[in-house]
Amino acid sequence: MLLTTTEINTEYQVLGLVKGSTVKTRHLGKDIMAFIRMLFGGNVKEYSDLLESARREAEEIMIREARAKGANAVIGVRYASSQIAQGASEVIVYGTAVKI
């Protein structure tokens, strides 16, 4: 499946909006490790890994939705995230499903 953040210079049939969304929560043990890392500065690997996992899961959901519509590409892909509760974040990815 082709995923792109830009338009493509070829003819395609627009099949509609597709999206994927997931909500991930923090793990107490990893939260403690992240807090310790924040005291000393640098990359907070525990949170980076959590967000990467959430992005990947949301993307897989979007791709399944696009395939169900008969798409072989998604154009104009965008990612967004937000905190929806204390310790829980949502990652959403969306774009336009097309058939090239």
CATH number of 40's domain? 3.30.110.70
Domain count, the chain: 1
For the full predicted model, state whether its pTM sits above 0.85.
Answer: no
Please report the pLDDT score of residue 23 as a whole number.
Answer: 86
Q: At what angle do helices 28-40 and 45-68 cross, to 10 degrees?
A: 120
Please report the pLDDT score of residue 60 as a whole number.
Answer: 96
Rounding to the nearest 10 degrees, give the CA dihedral for residues 86, 82, 58, 41: -80
Closest to 44 (Cα-Cα) out of 34, 30, 36: 34
User: Tens of pLDDT along the chain (100 residues)?
Assistant: 899 998 888 899 999 999 999 887 765 555 565 566 556 666 666 677 888 888 999 999 999 999 999 999 999 999 998 877 666 778 999 999 999 9
Please report the pLDDT score of residue 84 as a whole number.
Answer: 72
Please report the pLDDT score of residue 24 as a whole number.
Answer: 76
- Residue 47 lies in domain: 2-99
